[in-house]
């Protein structure tokens, strides 16, 4: 009686290579998913920071409406406008800069975000009307734009009646990788203090 020899005594190299290939595909998929998750986490963080900048800018504009300083740059309702707007007595009263401007850590000596003492494009200190320059750090990767437009009241048309409402649009543009994204908020502000 002859015995048959078993020719398969273990794994072949091809079996090992196929198993390694399957493991590599699984591992690469997992690494790609983790990378995408980390990238999305970073994008979400940048988006939340941009939303906070937008919200704090709107709050600062509302605060500027309620501030009335004698002899200062902030004159309450008349100051709520972009530079060159809101002409009172032949002089523009708007204090908020137009176009995309850098965002600094500090609001500057006037305490209002988006004015010339905290949004100058120069990497050096921003000059201010108080003589104390704002030398706080520019936040790289973020830019802010403030647009303020008068809203006519059909029941009280201008120029017969003074403007009592303005539309504020604040946009913060931020960089994520090589692309720009932006967060925008738009609201209406009203002059509640004057008659």
Q: Is residue 78 part of a domain?
A: yes
Q: Is residue 1 part of a domain?
A: no
Provide the residue-wise pLDDT of the chain in tens; the chain has 195 residues.
666 666 666 677 888 899 999 999 999 999 999 999 988 888 999 999 999 999 999 999 999 888 876 666 788 888 888 988 888 888 888 889 889 988 888 888 888 888 888 877 767 777 776 677 777 888 888 999 999 999 988 787 777 778 889 999 999 999 988 899 999 999 999 987 765
Q: Is residue 46 part of a domain?
A: no
- Predicted confidence at residue 195, as pLDDT, reads 56
Tokens 């320059």 correspond to what residue?
133
Q: Is residue 87 part of a domain?
A: yes
Distant-in-sequence contacts of 104-109, Cβ < 8 A, 24+ apart? 104/134, 104/136, 104/137, 104/138, 104/139, 105/136, 105/137, 105/139, 106/134, 106/136, 107/60, 108/134, 108/136, 109/134
Contacts of 98 (CB under 8 A, 6+ apart): 82, 83, 84, 145, 146, 147
Q: Is residue 67 part of a domain?
A: yes
- Predicted confidence at residue 161, as pLDDT, reads 79
- Predicted confidence at residue 7, as pLDDT, reads 64
Q: Is residue 35 part of a domain?
A: no
Q: Is residue 57 part of a domain?
A: yes
Q: Which domain holds residue 56?
A: 52-190
How many angstroms separate the CA atoms of 167 and 165, rounded? Answer: 7
> Nearest to residue 108, comparing CAs of 78, 136, 68, 139?
136
What total number of domains does the chain contain? 1
Q: Is residue 90 part of a domain?
A: yes
């Amino acid at each position: 009686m002859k015995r048959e020899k078993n020719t398969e005594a273990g794994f072949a190299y091809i079996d090992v290579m196929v198993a390694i290939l399957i493991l590599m595909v699984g591992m690469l998929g997992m690494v790609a998913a983790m990378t995408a998750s980390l990238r999305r986490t970073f994008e979400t963080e940048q988006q939340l920071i941009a939303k906070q900048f937008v919200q704090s800018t709107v709050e600062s504009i509302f605060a500027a409406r309620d501030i009335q300083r004698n002899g200062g740059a902030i004159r309450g309702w008349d100051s709520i406008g972009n530079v060159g707007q809101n002409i009172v007595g032949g002089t523009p009263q708007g204090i908020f800069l137009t176009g995309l401007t850098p965002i600094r850590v500090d609001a500057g000596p006037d305490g209002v975000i988006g004015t010339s003492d905290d949004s100058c494009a120069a990497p050096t200190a921003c000059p201010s009307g108080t003589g104390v320059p704002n030398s706080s750090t520019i936040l790289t990767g973020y830019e802010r734009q403030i647009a303020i437009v008068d809203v006519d009241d059909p029941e009280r048309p201008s120029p017969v009646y003074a403007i009592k409402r303005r539309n504020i649009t604040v946009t913060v543009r931020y960089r994520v990788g090589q692309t720009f994204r932006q967060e925008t908020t738009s609201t209406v502000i009203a002059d509640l203090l004057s008659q």
